[in-house]
Structure 1
Amino acid sequence: MTARLLTVVGARPQFVKAMPVSRAIRRMPGLDEVMVHTGQHHDSALSAAFFAALDLPAPAENLGIHGGSHGEMTGRMLAALDGVIARHAPDLVIVYGDTNSTLAGALAAAKAGVPVAHVEAGLRVFDRSMPEETNRVVVDHLSRLLFAPTRTAVANLAREGLVEGVLQVGDVMQDAVLAMAAMPQSEPGVLQRLSLVPDTYAVATLHRAATTDDAANLAAAIGYLRARAAALPVVLPLHPRTRAAAARFGVDLSGLMMIEPLGPLDMQRLLAGCTAVFTDSGGLQKEAYFHRKPCVTLRDSTEWTETIEAGWNRLWTVADYRPRREISDYGTGDAAERIVQAIARFLAVDAAPRVLTGAEA
């Protein structure tokens, strides 16, 4: 028996997370994957380039849906994905993280009677004013397979009565970072192209709607970065939404080393050479840890509480880090294999991985 998996992605971090899982699916007999890109992140420099750099299969369908309010975007995705599911008749739909694409994919599958697998299940900041939190909670309650990265995530699910289908697998971003570290880099390298010397700069990112859609929040975050830049150059790959918001609100970006957004491999090289990370992103908090770089999260809460507890991360409202230790929950790079093995068991297909050769690998 061959089972068809439909993977729904739409945001750049989801492309990275899907890479190790997609590779593991290709190694598993009895599983075929159909990749669907909602178009939520539509800029070719930030989307198609990621697929090419990560050697992900080209999406079977690109829905081209972006812009509008959260509700409007999710609604259009839901309607389009309803047709996608009808055309491809998947046995399971895989969604990642907490975006509008995640929610639309899970809702479309559930309404079509197709089981949902949620990668990064159980993350909570306990703030329902965040759209991402609503997406996480709803998707978890729609899912049949809940792949939790940490013990905290498992405990969060249990508090909501979700115990069946829950499996702690580690973090697929750990898998992805290890895989990207082994990939060849372009010549000249990103540090050379930017005239950067290792251990002499910090890296920052700002892109969350809670930051960019409010003038006071954006001004505060940029002000924080400019204050840090007085002591150490701060490299800011500038998200188009952040650039537009700064222009709209008249926020001064001077003093920061602004660059165009980077592909996933160059971003990993940039992180590897920095001394500190400042971000409002969820995923970059973990990536900072994977590179063993101290992080400051430019938010009042985080879904990755273990990075705080282990002393590698702190909120910008907190003066100092906790004592530093390693984080065992994220695993050693086998989260994707564990996810795919569990899916194979759930769908009752042969769970013995095969060895890929040549172009397949």
Structure 2
Amino acid sequence: MKITIVAGARPNFMKIAPIIHAIEKKEGITYRLVHTGQHYNKNLSETFFTELNIPKPAVNLEVKSGSQATQTAAIMVAFEKDLEENKTDLVLVVGDVTSTMACAIVAKKAHVKVAHVEAGIRSGDLTMPEEINRMVTDSITDYFFTTSVSANKNLLKAGTPENRIFFVGNVMIDTLKKNLPLIKRPNFWDILHLKEKQFYVLTLHRPSNVDAKKDFSKLLQKIMDESDDTPVIFPVHPRTQNILNEANLNFENLHFVEPQGYLSFIYLIKNAKAVLTDSGGITEEASVLNIPCITFRNSTERPETCELGTNRLVGTDFKKIDRAFKDLKANNWNTYTEIPKWDGHTATRIVEIIANGYEQ
């Protein structure tokens, strides 16, 4: 069996790594890795191949950035040509980035079966590009690999046949557990005189939080007011950097750093006092590492991180942000409870199902 695995953006690399490693141990399955080039900053793509021990991709489509429509179209055109030249039995897509949706559409129109890893998650927020990507991908997927019971319920509610839904767990946690012994201090640790549990990690990149300069500035000001004098480490996403350049923000304890490789970023999360974010995937990692997580969103596609993890949603509601920081400083925070099948063996389950012909 031949499988084409698609990756394009930072979160994808952590998801495909354990799947590739599981395939390499399984006879009768070969794979071809296609990198769409959706993220092209070195620390958002190339570094991950080295750190996670992933072979270089067979091809990089090098689509780079653009509007939603421009990027989607570029990926589809490039992937269609690649798929025509490299026949496959299955296209496996992961997560919810533009590459996920675009390549699923191309595969389906080419009459190639599609498997979606991390299928069924829903935030209910149609203003998020990722939510549209999830919905479109799942509407044409053949085999659904899910991370949670809530994802299963979402798919069943949408009419997905039960025998196509495979509750396997979370491949992100496979990668996290495997690489914890390898995490390393970032090179700015000593320069900034950071100490364990005495700094915050901040990530913001969602359009709803960062695209309006005035609102973004207000949110950042609120976060810094609540942080007191505690250092705040902000690895800046490329799209956020452009806005920051215009905002002219200056806080003594706010430190902008380059996008981090996986091993150094996990080191930061593991040793932080708390994580402040609008990312979904980071809430998973923070929860499993039992690090308090404040999320600047009103909804989440990963409710298990709030119910069993360490995540709390505050949106941009200043009263909720006040309460969250008050509880954080008083050590009044939920601790991690084991989430079903987030055990480090998800990729093995996925590959076994594929090898057995997708039958439950």
**TM-score, normalised relative to structure 1:** 0.90
Write the distance in 1 (CA, Å) between the matches of 2:204 and 2:183.
Answer: 27
1:248-287 residue pairs with structure 2 within 5 A?
248-252=246-250, 255-287=253-285
Structure 1 residue 335 corresponds to structure 2 residue 346: yes
Q: Is the 2:236–2:256 contact (alpha carbons within 8 Å) kept by the matching residues of 1?
A: yes
Counterpart residue identity of residue 41, structure 2: D
Distance 1:310 1:171 in 2: 14
Q: Tell me how far apart the structure 1 counterparts of residues 218 and 47 of structure 2 sit (CA, whole Å).
A: 32
Question: 2:330 aligns to what?
Answer: none
Report SS of the residue matched to 1:182: helix
Letter in 2 for 1:290: V
**CA displacement at 1:261 relative to structure 2:** 1.4
- Render the CA deviation track for 1:118-147: whole Å, top value 9, x for unaligned: 111111011212111111011111111111
Amino acid at match of 2:62: G
Q: Do the aligned residues in 1 keep the contact of 2:120 with 2:152 (CA within 8 Å)?
A: yes
Structure 2's unaligned 5+ residue stretches are: 328-332
Other structure's SS at 1:147 match: strand
**TM-superposed deviation, 1:324:** 4.3
Describe the SS at the equivalent of 1:74: helix
2:288, 2:309 within 8 Å by CA — same for their partners in 1?
A: no
Q: Counterparts of 1:15-94 in structure 2 under 5 Å?
A: 15-94=13-92
Per-residue deviation at 1:182?
A: 3.0
Residues 142 and 233 of structure 1: CA distance in aligned 2, closer, same or farther (over 3 Å):
same
CA shift digits 1:268-327 (9 cap, x unpaired): 111111110000111001110121001000111111111112351111244358754504
Mark the CA change 1:305 to 1:220 in structure 2 (over 3 Å): closer, same or farther.
farther
In structure 1, stretches of 5+ residues that fail to align are 349-361
Q: Deviations over 1:220-272 (max 9, x none)?
A: 33223312332421111122221111223445565412211110001111111
Q: Alignment partner of 2:339: what SS?
A: coil
| TM-score in terms of structure 2 length | 0.90
Partner SS for 2:79: helix
Secondary structure class of the residue paired with 2:304: helix
Q: Which residue of 2 is the match for residue 181 of structure 1?
A: 180
Deviation at 1:346, TM superposition (A): 2.0
Helix, strand or coil at the partner of 2:96:
coil
Q: Identify the match of residue 127 of structure 1 among 109, 125, 128.
A: 125
Tell me the distance in 2 between the aligned counterparts of 1:227 and 1:252.
13
- Matching residue of 2:94: 96
Give 1:331's aligned amino acid: W
Q: 1:191·1:270 contact (CA, 8 Å) conserved in 2?
A: no
Greater shift in the superposed pair: 226-235 or 271-280 = 226-235
2:169 maps to: 170
Alpha-carbon separation, structure 1, partners of 2:20 and 2:10: 15
Q: Deviations over 1:18-41 (max 9, x none)?
A: 111111111111111111111110
Q: Deviations over 1:53-97 (max 9, x none)?
A: 111110111011022210111011011111111111011111111
**Counterpart of 2:163 in 1: which secondary structure?**
coil
Report % sequence identity.
36
Q: Indicate how the Cα distance of structure 1 residues 190 and 145 shifts in structure 2: closer, same or farther if over 3 A, else same.
A: farther
**The residue matched to 1:36 in structure 2 has which SS?**
strand
Shift of 1:189: 6.8
Q: Is the 8 Å Cα contact of residues 285 and 307 (structure 1) preserved in structure 2?
A: yes
Distance change (3 Å), C-alpha of 1:29 and 1:297:
same
C-alpha distance in 2, partners of 1:260/1:152? 35
Cα RMSD after superposing both structures = 2.0
Partner of 1:95, secondary structure, is strand
Secondary structure of the structure 2 residue equivalent to 1:15 = helix
**2:307 matches 1:309:** yes
**Could you tell me whether the CA contact under 8 Å between 2:17 and 2:52 is conserved in 1?**
yes
- Paired positions, count: 345
Letter in 1 for 2:16: A
SS of match in other structure, 1:154: helix
- Secondary structure of 2:31's counterpart equals strand
